[in-house]
A and B are shown apart, each in its own frame.
Chain A
Amino acid sequence: MSHPILPQTRRDLLSMIGKVGGGAALYQAMTALGHAAESQFTGPPQLSGARPGASVLVLGAGLAGMLAAYELTKAGYKVQILEVQTRAGGRNMTLRGGNTVSELGSVQKVGFSPGNYLNPGPWRIPHHHRTVIHYCKQFGVELEPFLQTNHNAFVHRKAAFGGKPQRFRDLTIDWKGHVSELLGKALNAGALDQAVSAPDKARLLEAMRSWGVLDKNMAYVKSDKLGEQRGWERAPGGGVSGAPIPNDPSSLGDTLDSRIWEQLGFFAEHVMQPAMFQAKGGMDHIGKAFKARVAKLIRYGTRVSRIAQDERGVTASWTDAKSGATGETRADWMVCTIPAAVLSQIDLQVSDGKRAAIKALPYGNSVKIGLEMKRRFWETEDAIYGGSSFTDQAIGLVSYPGHGCFSDGPAVLLGAYPFGVGAYILAGMTPEKRIQAALEQGSVFHPAHYKSEFLSGASVAWNRMPWILGCCAMWTEESRAAHYQDLVAMDGRIVLAGEHCSYYGCWQEGALLSALDAITRLHQRALAT
């Protein structure tokens, strides 16, 4: 039996800190104890004791809305969800053969073979996204490794190496070698003697020689030792011709042309570091697992046109997309997860500050294109298993499926995933032209097979998805400072949730964390009212 005052375990202690000091104090304490430090997830909310009959209306059946509904129902609230689409999951979706993609201005039928799929929205889960991982485990969603980095994949820059793609490995090893050589030269010339002590200088020289694989003169040149990192002109073998032949490193200028530091910086980001996971068989298994727990609460095809509130409750006015019938749904409280790009166009009764915040939140765009190929030529011909080849063309990258390696038969590549200019260019094309462009541009990596092995393609331009009109909320430091707190603040009986209401924008983790925070505050308010 635990002591009523003194915490017996770490868990008790953290629970006490959480009760007294709130989430921020709890997070700080957990960090001090060596927990957390990554996602702010501290476990599922322990909400209970809703007032009898208290009700919550949730707008949107994406992950944020469904998590809110799930946890609020457990706490004792009567919950209803209104969803504009005829499906649940929001941006969490997977396209398979037979599915339809309905964009503004076009309809596509997906022709992928059985078992193949494209995740047009979320496609990878960093190991520290504890909330997503928690609910996947709780709901029995099987996660498998997502192959994030691949040193054997390519990097292509139009202005580097005459447009010829280079292996990621070669560029990173050359970058490291040239930088080491230059630092060695600077050290040996005494250029850093003011900044570096004599013992540190000696250690740095030793480090640069070893790390950069420099020769005895501190030069970055071809050697057997370098071959062990960079690969070989002739690989090691057995018997009489077993001796490997190293290949030539690229020059400093060529290496700089590739801007490889950008790729290294990308992979250095916390959210890009392995281990990385995906839902086995398609990311929509996560959305489906949430849906299975709240399915009977959802009213589909329901377009909300007006949101009002008074001292007694909230009212959403809506139109049934199919029948055209109109209706109103009332509840005591509301969790609204409608993306800001749409919410900014809806008549919404909230404070001026919140309305200004919603209207000041633009959405970035991205496009994903799935290309089904007859066979995995990137594996058989190029020894590329998972990971991505990067390009500065509009498509941004080609990403290889990390699941099903070595299998025969058709497989689906991610043939484009840009934000920015590339996304606008591809989104503005017809679906057919997008596929043509993706095949043309992706051929730079696999010229002999990319077009001839192509079977069918499907694309999603997020700004053309009529229920969101964009991919993700786009914050800046200035807009965070001016509007973020207004956006997330409980406003009378209404609270917003979704990735746009988080500092983990464009991640499922952000949507879920925002929902947990929103319902925790809603519950506190409901009990205090």
Chain B
Amino acid sequence: MFAAGLALAVSLALGSPGQAQDRGGGSSVAVADEGREIYEQICQSCHMADAKGGGVPGAMFPTLAGNPRLADHDYASIVVLKGRGGMPWFSGMLTRPQIAAVINYVRGHFNAYPDTVTVADLDRITIDNPPVPDCNCGH
């Protein structure tokens, strides 16, 4: 019950950002189901097409390619589910299968981590609710 209410609130926050905020049309485009396509539709907007991020120290999007932080099985899942710093959570915009698919794409294609993130992992993380890892790792 609580989880469903939270998901709705989150989805509203992302779809129509903030009550009374200026905004344009309410586009509702279906996000793809395949990891690479999800990356291209959503993630590369900030992390760039080559997943190497951008910007300068103090104002940057971290690289996802060759990122040792992603070796941790849960790290990317926690960040995508809960957001970190300027990055919003995507638990309202993407379904759990979509989140798992895109994380596996990033961990597999732009890195070489063999273990697979599953929807069950995302459910476990949601229940355990670990804190968002702090990171000044200079990406």
Given contacts A105-B54, A363-B86, A463-B46, contact A421 B61 (CB under 8 A): no
Question: Contact: A428 with B41, CB < 8 Å?
Answer: yes
Q: Does A476 contact B (CB under 8 A)?
A: yes
Q: Does B83 contact A (CB under 8 A)?
A: yes
Q: Does A337 contact B (CB under 8 A)?
A: no
Chain B residues with CB under 8 Å of A417's CB are 23-25
Q: How far, in whole Å, are A76 and B42 apart by their CA atoms in the complex?
A: 48
Q: Does B56 contact A (CB under 8 A)?
A: yes
**Interface locus among B6-14, B64-72, B107-115, B117-125:** B6-14
**Shortest Cβ distance from B91 into chain A, in angstroms?**
12
Which A376-405 residues have a C-beta within 8 angstroms of B?
A: 388, 390-397, 399
Which B83-125 residues have a C-beta within 8 angstroms of A?
A: 83-89, 93
Q: How far, in whole Å, are A269 and B29 apart by their CA atoms in the complex?
A: 24
Question: Contact: A506 with B27, CB < 8 Å?
Answer: no
Question: Contact: A424 with B42, CB < 8 Å?
Answer: yes
Partner of B86, one of A340, A391, A505, A506: A340
Question: Contact: A475 with B27, CB < 8 Å?
Answer: no
Question: Contact: A463 with B25, CB < 8 Å?
Answer: no
Question: Contact: B18 with A474, CB < 8 Å?
Answer: yes
Q: Does A264 contact B (CB under 8 A)?
A: no
Q: Does B26 contact A (CB under 8 A)?
A: yes
Question: Contact: A469 with B61, CB < 8 Å?
Answer: yes
Question: Contact: B26 with A262, CB < 8 Å?
Answer: yes
Partner of B23, one of A414, A419, A425, A477: A419
Q: Does A467 contact B (CB under 8 A)?
A: yes
Q: Does A175 contact B (CB under 8 A)?
A: no
Question: Contact: B17 with A466, CB < 8 Å?
Answer: no
Chain A residues with CB under 8 Å of B59's CB are 84, 303, 342, 345, 466-467, 469
Q: Does A185 contact B (CB under 8 A)?
A: no
Question: Contact: B21 with A392, CB < 8 Å?
Answer: no
Chain A residues with CB under 8 Å of B33's CB are none
**Shortest Cβ distance from B37 into chain A, in angstroms?**
11
Q: How far, in whole Å, are A499 and B103 apart by their CA atoms in the complex?
A: 32
Question: Contact: A392 with B25, CB < 8 Å?
Answer: yes
Chain B residues with CB under 8 Å of A252's CB are none
Given contacts A344-B86, A363-B88, contact A269 B20 (CB under 8 A): yes
Question: Contact: B21 with A422, CB < 8 Å?
Answer: no
What is the number of residues of chain B that contact chain A, defined by CB distance less than 8 Å?
Answer: 45
Given contacts A105-B48, A421-B41, A428-B42, contact A505 B26 (CB under 8 A): no
Question: Contact: A362 with B87, CB < 8 Å?
Answer: yes
Q: Does A271 contact B (CB under 8 A)?
A: yes
Question: Contact: A474 with B13, CB < 8 Å?
Answer: yes
Q: Does B22 contact A (CB under 8 A)?
A: yes
Question: Contact: B28 with A507, CB < 8 Å?
Answer: no
Q: Does B44 contact A (CB under 8 A)?
A: yes
The chain B residue with its CB closest to the CB of A427 is B45
Q: How far, in whole Å, are A364 and B93 apart by their CA atoms in the complex?
A: 12
Partner of A477, one of B9, B22, B86: B9
Which A472-529 residues have a C-beta within 8 angstroms of B?
A: 472, 474-478, 504-507
Partner of A362, one of B56, B61, B89: B89
Q: Does A196 contact B (CB under 8 A)?
A: no
Chain A residues with CB under 8 Å of B31's CB are 421
Q: How far, in whole Å, are A84 and B28 apart by their CA atoms in the complex?
A: 35
**Shortest Cβ distance from A302 into chain B, in angstroms?**
12
Q: Does A17 contact B (CB under 8 A)?
A: no
Question: Contact: B25 with A362, CB < 8 Å?
Answer: no
As a 0/1 sequence over residues 34 to 76 of chain B, the CB contacts with chain A under 8 angstroms (1 = contact) are 0000001111111011000011111111000000000000000
Which of B23, B48, B56, B134: most chain A CB closer than 10 A? B23
Question: Contact: B24 with A397, CB < 8 Å?
Answer: yes
Which of B9, B26, B43, B86: most chain A CB closer than 10 A? B86
Given contacts A104-B48, A421-B41, A463-B45, contact A366 B23 (CB under 8 A): yes
The chain A residue with its CB closest to the CB of B17 is A364
Q: How far, in whole Å, are A130 and B126 apart by their CA atoms in the complex?
A: 43
Q: Does A373 contact B (CB under 8 A)?
A: no
Question: Contact: A392 with B18, CB < 8 Å?
Answer: no
Q: Does A86 contact B (CB under 8 A)?
A: no
Partner of B22, one of A122, A361, A422: A122
**Shortest Cβ distance from A92 into chain B, in angstroms?**
13
Q: How far, in whole Å, are A21 and B130 apart by their CA atoms in the complex?
A: 43
Question: Contact: A362 with B18, CB < 8 Å?
Answer: no
Q: How far, in whole Å, are A507 and B21 apart by their CA atoms in the complex?
A: 7
Chain B residues with CB under 8 Å of A123's CB are 22
Q: How far, in whole Å, are A506 and B41 apart by their CA atoms in the complex?
A: 24
Question: Contact: B25 with A418, CB < 8 Å?
Answer: yes
Q: Does A346 contact B (CB under 8 A)?
A: yes
Question: Contact: B27 with A393, CB < 8 Å?
Answer: yes
Q: Does A270 contact B (CB under 8 A)?
A: yes
Q: Does A255 contact B (CB under 8 A)?
A: no
Question: Contact: B54 with A392, CB < 8 Å?
Answer: no
Q: Does A44 contact B (CB under 8 A)?
A: no
Question: Contact: A425 with B29, CB < 8 Å?
Answer: yes
Question: Contact: A424 with B48, CB < 8 Å?
Answer: no
**Shortest Cβ distance from A471 into chain B, in angstroms?**
8
As a 0/1 sequence over residues 405 to 441 of chain A, the CB contacts with chain B under 8 angstroms (1 = contact) are 0000000001011111111110110000000000000
Q: How far, in whole Å, are A344 and B62 apart by their CA atoms in the complex?
A: 13
Chain B residues with CB under 8 Å of A359's CB are 84-85, 134
Return the 7 tightest CB-CB contacts between A and B, nearest first.
A417-B24, A396-B25, A341-B86, A422-B27, A397-B25, A104-B54, A362-B88
Give 15 new A-B contacts, CB below 8 A, not counting A362-B83, A505-B20.
A104-B54, A104-B61, A105-B54, A123-B22, A271-B22, A345-B59, A362-B89, A364-B17, A394-B29, A420-B93, A428-B43, A469-B61, A469-B86, A474-B14, A507-B21
Chain A residues with a Cβ under 8 A of chain B: 84, 104-105, 122-124, 262, 266, 269-271, 303-305, 340-342, 344-346, 359, 361-366, 368, 388, 390-397, 399, 414, 416-425, 427-428, 461, 463-464, 466-467, 469-470, 472, 474-478, 504-507
